[in-house]
Structure 1
Amino acid sequence: MESPLPVVQPQQKLAHHYDVATIMGGLYGEGMIALKGAFSRAWAARLHEDVLAAYENALKRPGGTVGRGPKRHYVEIHPEDIRGFLDLVSHPWVVAVCEAVLGPEYKVVEIGFDVPNPGAVHQPWHRDFPAPPDTIEGRRLNSLAFNLTTVDVTDEMGPFEIAPGTQWDLPDGFEHGMFPPKELYPRYEQRASRRMPQMGDISARSALTIHRGTANNSNKARPALVLGVDAPGAINAERHDLQVTRPYYDSLPEAVRRHLTCRIVETLEPIVQAHTIEGLMMGEA
């Protein structure tokens, strides 16, 4: 059953400001917030085209994709692979969320996408990486993941599912610090909230909130873009390889450049994804 997560409506925007208390309350509370209609459907349709092209290219080269379970892939891409990268990282809501939770010196460290294809099964409940000391000891979130669907999600398409509030769970008995023991599954299933975003919507979440992809019983893939952002001192950039060419970098506004942790290269190099999550490869047991 879907339960509502905090949603920041566009009319809550005052000039270029969003309510910090609403942002902080959502991400420190349930662990996920959303903005409906952040982008036009036409913008989302272009994103869908770019993601499908990048996916087709990645499937053709060794190491271009990484498995996230049966019939699921993750692909890390270059900012230049999508036409809307600047629109995304400069969106006032994205900027406001990053500044509120991560501070004014936040850094974009990852751009990629997940594709649960038809036949994908339930993932085991998990975090995307082990909780850092900042969260376990300091009770502070030092990273965020933004997600944008490229299709209108339905219940048959394997929606993303989270267990609200579990970003603060201590990792006692978690395999690799990421996979909770199965005796905790009833708790997560009781709290489970399925998300059904539409084209143009955007969400922000703590990747430490326990979550899973559900079974895709449709005949359609469900691509979702992922933008990873860190606070100073976080180490997620070590898992990724954000690259931009010099002309592209120079074309970006200084207000965007200062928030990128990236390599500046003459020619974009194929990315071999390094952040494999072995525990997802078999799906839920």
Structure 2
Amino acid sequence: MSMISPEKPASGKPDISSFDQAPIMAGLYGDGIIAQKGAFPREMIADLYDDVMRLYPEALKRPGGAVGRGRNRHYVEIHPEDIRCFEQIVTHPWFVAVCEAVLGPNYRIVELGFDVPNQGALNQPWHRDFPAPEDTTIGRRLNSLAFNMTTVDVEPDMGPFEVAPGTQWDDPSEFEHGMFPPKELYARYEARSSRKFPSMGDISARSALTIHRGTAHASAKPRPVLVIGVDAPSANNHERHDLQLTRAYYESLPPYVQQHILCRIVDKLEPIHQAHTIEGLMMGDA
């Protein structure tokens, strides 16, 4: 994989001086999720929706192009140049401020994809997206973040995302595969649960270790959500993904963005075979 060395600051860094690190750290180390309302214009998100809904059927037709996340629910990894707003997202001052506050100045963007719950999707089991690393279980540090951006205004019948705040620190010793807590703990998560109803233009950041689930989706309208995964240098989540940029696109990005992408530089984009399967979410009927 290719990456500009993060040892020297690159030009073009967004001005993040208006964002205080303290509430960012408090939110992500406390509840495990924070958000910035109205960060992006709705017109940009409408274009993002169109991009995602063009890529989604293409991925479903391609072997390994999409993975099930439960009944009528899929996850698709994509290339940054497949969407029109990648640079605008990763240069937004709030995005940069959150990454630097929690992950340090040498953070790395390692994943880009989208999740689509459709009509008939069921409640997922409560889960983490991957097992907690020793940085968290022993060092009590977060070494990765997931940024989510809805492409639609979320309504109550659209299977809203549900999170149990503060559970990123829960002991995983009894979790199946380190990710799925026993059903005996569900009452704890349901007592803490908070459903999220973001609007077009909002962006959230969360620890993927905070216990969460997608809920039952009754609406005929899908609910596509963009996902950006970011690591601290000590994390290894890039091993689950295959972020690719063509050389021409990579060179068109500001040096500051180049510095923070861990990717393969290719002459021609290759189809992504989805590697980050989460078998426990399949529930036998994805």
Please give the range of the TM-score, normalised by the shorter of the 2 chains: over 0.9
CA contact (8 A) 1:17 1:96 kept: no
Query: Counterparts in 2 of 1:256-275, with a 5 A limit?
Result: 256-275=257-276
CA contact (8 A) 1:123 1:283 kept: no
CA contact (8 A) 2:32 2:165 kept: yes
Q: Distance in 2 between matches of 1:221 and 1:16?
A: 37
- The aligned counterpart of 2:277 is 276
- The aligned counterpart of 1:170 is 171
TM-score by length of 2: 0.93
Identity %: 71
Q: Distance in 2 between matches of 1:172 and 1:241?
A: 29
Q: CA deviation at 1:173?
A: 0.9
Deviation per residue, 1:151-180 (Å, 9 max, x gap): 000110000000000000010210000000
CA contact (8 A) 1:160 1:194 kept: yes
- The aligned counterpart of 1:99 is 100
- The aligned counterpart of 1:135 is 136
CA contact (8 A) 1:159 1:195 kept: yes
Q: Distance in 1 between matches of 2:116 and 2:56?
A: 9
Q: Secondary structure at the match of 1:48?
A: helix
Q: Secondary structure at the match of 1:244?
A: strand
Amino acid of the residue matched to residue 265 of structure 1?
V
Q: Secondary structure at the match of 2:96?
A: helix
User: Runs ≥4 in structure 1, deviation > 6 angstroms?
Assistant: none
Query: Counterparts in 2 of 1:81-100, with a 5 A limit?
Result: 81-100=82-101
CA contact (8 A) 2:103 2:144 kept: yes
Q: CA deviation at 1:17?
A: 2.8
Deviation per residue, 1:204-224 (Å, 9 max, x gap): 000000000000011110000
- The aligned counterpart of 2:235 is 234
With a CA cutoff of 8 Å and minimum separation of 6, indicate the structure with the bigger relative contact order.
2
Query: Counterparts in 2 of 1:2-17, with a 5 A limit?
Result: 16-17=17-18
* Structure 2: gaps of 5 or more residues: 1-14
Instruction: Give the aligned length.
Output: 271
Deviation per residue, 1:235-265 (Å, 9 max, x gap): 0000000000000000001000000000000
Amino acid of the residue matched to residue 282 of structure 1?
M
Amino acid of the residue matched to residue 110 of structure 1?
E
Q: Secondary structure at the match of 1:113?
A: strand
Q: Distance in 1 between matches of 2:278 and 2:18?
A: 37
Q: Secondary structure at the match of 1:74?
A: strand
Q: CA deviation at 1:283?
A: 7.5
Query: Counterparts in 2 of 1:158-237, with a 5 A limit?
Result: 158-237=159-238
* Structure 1: gaps of 5 or more residues: 1-13
Q: Residues 18 and 119 from structure 1, CA distance in 2 versus in 1: closer, same or farther, beyond 3 angstroms?
A: same
Amino acid of the residue matched to residue 20 of structure 1?
Q
TM-score by length of 1: 0.94
Q: Distance in 2 between matches of 1:58 and 1:224?
A: 15
Q: Distance in 1 between matches of 2:271 and 2:208?
A: 25
Amino acid of the residue matched to residue 165 of structure 1?
G
Q: Distance in 1 between matches of 2:19 and 2:171?
A: 31
CA contact (8 A) 1:124 1:283 kept: no
